[in-house]
Structures are given as C-alpha cells and as structure tokens.
Structure 1
Amino acid sequence: MMITGKQQRGVGLIEVMIALLVLAIGVLGYAGMQLTALKASEDANNRAQATLLGQDALERFLANETAMASYTDVDQWPDESTPPGEKPDVLNDCITSSCNANDLASWDISMLAWQAANQLPAGMIAVDECQHATGISCVVVSWNDDEPNDCMTNDGVNTGIGTSCVVLEVAR
C-alpha cells in the first residue's frame, strides 16, 4: 500500500518539533552545567579569600605575641557580620598614631572583621582556643549563613559538605 502526499502532511513538521525538543533538552542541560560550574567557582573564590584572611589573622597575632590574650579572647571578636562599606573610623587610629600592643590587637580585630565583611558574603572571623586540643588556637572564617561557632565542635573542626567555613590551627 502506497501512502499518498495527502496522508503524509504534517509528518515533516512533527520530525522538526521532535528535533527541537531534543535540542531544547540539550540546551537546558548545558545551562544547568554552567550554573553548577558558576556556583563551584564562587565557592572556590570564597574559600580562597577566607584562607587568605585567616592567614592574615595568624600572621597578625603571631607578630603581636604580647597581646596574644586579646586575640584569643572570643569576646573581643564581633558576634555578627560587620556591615560592608567604608572603613570605620577606629581603623585609622593605629595608622595615624602609635598604639600599644593591646590597642594594636583591637585595631587588628576591627580590621579583620571589616575585611571579612567586605570580601565575603556575610563574612565573619574569630580566633579562639580550639576545643579539641589545648595550646592550639583556631582562626575561623565563615560566610553565608554560618557563624564561626558553627564551624567548631567538641570533637574538632566541622567543615562538612555545605558548610561555609575555613579553619586554620596554630600552636602557640
């Protein structure tokens, strides 16, 4: 039995529509991969910034050992993220005038908190004695919905999947 031209009407259009559907699914898959890559790239950038900020904090408090107690006192560190923007006036104090060791520690803490807020989304930083070991200080940098105390447990460091934390340990 032979199919006439009238019976074949629309078959070519259906083939084109199926091809467009397959193409659309492929484009959506590609867009999803790009979005995943963008999120992973942003997370890697945040982790790199947090690591640099943590290293800066370590260097600051190791350079000012006479005020070590000020750096490792968790009450000296802000409880919430500093609003991003211009540097607070207190940050000019140790630049324009001389400071003693404790003033420098307060200045460093203010500067580090300001940097965390400006370099990371809802960024926070704190230095505290590590809960899982004595004589070791932990520099904790967190961002997004995590706070520095969310990154530490009695068993050690909590940097599981989905956490926005970087923890650096230093023996003192």
Structure 2
Amino acid sequence: MRQLVSQRGVGLVEVLVALLLLAVAVLGFSAMQMTAVKATDESLMRTRALTIMRGGAEAMRANSAGINAFKAAVNGDADSITIDSATITKDSCVKNTAGAPAATDSCTIDQLATRDGLLMKSYAEDNDINVGLVPNGCPGTSGNQERQCFVASWGDTTVALSDSAANACANENGTYKNGAECFIMEAY
C-alpha cells in the first residue's frame, strides 16, 4: 500500500512535462514556418523584379537610340514628360483601340523610349518595387561596351549605389549591402 501512496500526482507531472515539450515543438515549428514564408516572399519579389528588368532591357535593345530618354523616364519622378512639344505618359503612342502600346508614325524615338520607361516604372510601382538605372552605367564599364545597370528594390532599400547611405542597395562598386532587399541586373 505504501507504494501507491508515494506515486500519487506523478501522472499529472508527466502530462505537464509532455505539454511543455509539445509547446516548445509547436513554437519551433511556427518559427520555421515564418522563415519559410519570408523566404517565399523574397523569392516572389526577386522574380517580379527580374521580370520587370528583363522587359526594360528588351525595350532598350529594341530602341537603342532612345536609351538616354528611357533612362531619364525611369529615373525621374514625373508621370509625364514633355518631349518635342508632346506630353508623353505611359499610355502615349497607342494606336489600337484595345489600349495596347503600339508605335505610331507620330511618335519619335525618344518619345517611344520615354513611354517605355514610364510604362516599366508604373508596372514596377504597381508591384511595390522601385526601379532605376545607374546614371553612369554599371560600375567598372565604359566605352563601347558600357553596360546599363537596372536596380530594383523593395521594402526599405533604395535603388541607390552608395557607400554612405545605409539603406542603399549596394556600394558604389556594385557589391550588395548586407540585408538589402534588391536586385541588380546588367543590360546592354
């Protein structure tokens, strides 16, 4: 009889220890799940940024004479730019009734490039992405093979390449900063 009396309450302690272990396991799983969700979001933003920048690179290749106008449109803050007495927006130079962008005889090369830049910037903003082109080309390139550097950022990261700005995407030499949420792509 004595053995039965000394083991009273042991089952309750075992249940409490088991619940404590289960709670720790559930918390660990929750932390792992949050990390997986964050990694998925980062991957989605990188995919969106890459898609936008590839479209911009193709627009520059299709209209290489208008690269400076394209760059000015992407890097500017305005939703419309006046070129050759015409106000250009992302919806300018539209020929068909469906509203799809199409070149017309009335648009110059710079007007088309500006429209393409504004359209790309608008699409990026709709996807919570900031885009820009490095003003003087990619670091370390110049001459005939000068490459253009697209920079896309999201969150608190800016599209700048700066050694001093803490929230810049990369340093002036093009190396990413720790914790930056951005993507850099060369195009030529």
Partner of 2:41: 42
Cα distance in 2, alignment partners of residues 126 and 142 from structure 1: 9
Cα distance in 2, alignment partners of residues 131 and 109 from structure 1: 22
Cα distance in 2, alignment partners of residues 164 and 36 from structure 1: 16
TM-score by length of 2: 0.75
Matched, 1:116 2:124: yes
Shift of 1:132: 2.8
> Which runs of no fewer than 5 residues in structure 1 stay unpaired?
83-88
Match of 1:77 among 75, 78, 101: 75
Cα distance in 2, alignment partners of residues 91 and 170 from structure 1: 22
Cα distance in 2, alignment partners of residues 20 and 14 from structure 1: 10
Cα distance in 1, alignment partners of residues 119 and 7 from structure 2: 75
- Cα 1:94–1:77 shift into 2, 3 Å: same
Partner of 2:153: 142
The CA RMSD measured in Å over matched residues stands at 2.4
Which one has the bigger helix percentage? 1
Partner of 2:4: 4
Aligned pairs for 1:1-172 (under 5 A) are 2-5=2-5, 7-73=6-72, 77-79=75-77, 90-96=89-95, 98=104, 99-119=107-127, 121=128, 123-128=129-134, 129-134=137-142, 135-149=146-160, 150-155=168-173, 157-171=174-188
- Cα 1:92–1:170 shift into 2, 3 Å: closer
The question of whether the paired residues in 1 share the 8 Å contact of 2:46 and 2:183 is answered with yes
Shift of 1:114: 1.0
> Which runs of no fewer than 5 residues in structure 2 stay unpaired?
80-87, 96-102, 161-167
Greater relative contact order (Cα < 8 A, sep 6+): 1
The question of whether the paired residues in 2 share the 8 Å contact of 1:124 and 1:148 is answered with yes
The question of whether the paired residues in 1 share the 8 Å contact of 2:132 and 2:152 is answered with yes
| Equivalent residue letter for 1:143 | W
SS of alignment partner, residue 3 of structure 2: coil
SS of alignment partner, residue 132 of structure 1: coil
Cα distance in 2, alignment partners of residues 49 and 137 from structure 1: 19
